């Protein structure tokens, strides 16, 4: 079972091979890096360690958090634990940490976790001003007698897999590409909240999701999705957006119509897995036009979720 620390431990940990990064999304590139650390640690008979941060440094410096994270803190923690790594050290990213240069950070980490080696990506940078790039980090590790390995990034369709590429794919609504980069479907989780019942009045009761506003949302629109409710999956249609036919507000909502399902699930935790973009969100001239389009959306979602086309 993975050991987790939410700050610098007050005791010395066992020697380890480690990697360091933000790991937002824990995508296939991150997974390959972590697997490399795990395998190297097993080969040398030491522990495997992931060092990460919260909040994300970009969020800390810009003070802009809404709609940024690919995972919230618990989701990231669970995904890292599921990787099989022995230990996850999640450090609070504050000004004192931001002011550490590369040598200071490695010295402190090495004093708590005797490092057998460090594996990072080619573009990784550590320390104040992101000055601890390849050669700098290599020299610091050499000074401490720590092996330092830089590995090439993972590619998909000839392009680097990165958290930023995933955010860009979400901005375009390409959740199929996002799934290919994550190695799993893009998922939003939350509790079902009572809404204003417009869907119910139209004959399409929807589950309104209480979601983490810090999470990055896909492009506003309608998606075929699979909904995990109490471990059972249901087909569904999810609208992400501001409901322009009903509202003029700016706050986005997430509403899911579960197909062939009519139970009361208020306050239940659901996990919405986005499978494919069906269409963009539009404002309809009449309720009748909206109802007609919802029926078309249901048909398209069934087709996508049944045969994947």
Res 64: pLDDT: 81
Count CB-CB contacts under 10 A for residue 76: 23
pLDDT in tens, 217-268: 999 999 999 999 999 999 999 999 987 655 656 688 999 999 988 888 999 9
Confidence of residue 307 (pLDDT cuts 50, 70, 90): confident
Res 94: pLDDT: 96
CATH 2.40.30.30 corresponds to the domain 173-307: yes
Confidence of residue 158 (pLDDT cuts 50, 70, 90): very high
Contact 112, 13 (CB under 8 A): yes
Alpha carbon 181 to chain centroid distance? Answer: 11
- In the chain, where are the structural domains located? 3-153, 173-307
What is the greatest pairwise CA distance in the chain? 72
Confidence of residue 61 (pLDDT cuts 50, 70, 90): very high
User: What tokens appear for 90 in the block?
Assistant: 């999640």
**Do 3-153 and 173-307 show the same overall fold?**
no
CATH 3.40.50.620 corresponds to the domain 3-153: yes
DSSP line for 156-196: ETTEE--HHHHHHHHHTT-HHHHHHHHTS-EEEEEEEE---
User: What tokens appear for 108 in the block?
Assistant: 């402190």
Cα–Cα distance for residue pair 165/171, rounded to 1 Å: 10
Confidence of residue 73 (pLDDT cuts 50, 70, 90): very high
pLDDT in tens, 101-115: 999 999 999 999 999
- Ordered alpha helix ranges (H), 55-203: 57-62, 73-82, 95-98, 102-112, 134-144, 163-171, 175-182, 198-201
């Amino acid at each position: 079972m993975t050991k987790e620390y939410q700050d610098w431990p007050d005791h010395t940990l066992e020697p380890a091979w480690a990697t360091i990064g933000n790991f937002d999304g824990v995508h296939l590139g991150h997974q390959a890096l972590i697997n490399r650390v795990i395998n190297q640690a097993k080969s040398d008979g030491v522990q495997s360690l992931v060092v990460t941060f919260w909040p994300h440094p970009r969020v800390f410096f810009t003070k802009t958090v809404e709609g940024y994270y690919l995972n919230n803190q618990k989701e990231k923690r669970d995904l890292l634990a599921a990787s099989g790594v022995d230990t996850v050290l999640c450090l609070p990213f504050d000004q004192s940490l931001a002011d550490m240069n590369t040598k200071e950070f490695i010295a402190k980490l090495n004093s708590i976790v005797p490092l057998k080696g460090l594996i990072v990506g080619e573009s990784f940078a550590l320390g104040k001003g992101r000055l601890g790039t390849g050669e700098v980090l290599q020299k610091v590790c050499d000074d401490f007698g720590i092996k330092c390995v830089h590995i090439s990034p993972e590619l998909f369709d000839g392009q680097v897999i990165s958290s930023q590429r995933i955010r860009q794919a979400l901005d375009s609504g390409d959740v199929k590409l996002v799934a290919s980069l994550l190695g799993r479907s893009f998922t939003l989780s939350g509790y079902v909240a009572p809404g204003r019942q417009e869907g119910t009045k139209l004959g399409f009761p929807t589950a309104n999701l209480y979601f983490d506003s810090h999470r990055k949302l896909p492009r506003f629109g309608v998606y075929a999705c699979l909904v995990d409710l109490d471990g059972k999956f249901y087909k569904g249609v999810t609208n992400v957006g501001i409901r322009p036919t009903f509202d003029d507000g700016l706050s986005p909502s997430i509403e899911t119509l579960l197909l062939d399902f009519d139970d009361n699930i208020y306050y239940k935790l659901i996990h919405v897995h986005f499978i494919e973009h069906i269409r963009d969100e539009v404002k309809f001239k009449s309720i009748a036009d909206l109802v007609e389009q919802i029926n078309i959306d249901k048909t398209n979602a069934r087709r996508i979720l049944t045969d994947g086309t």
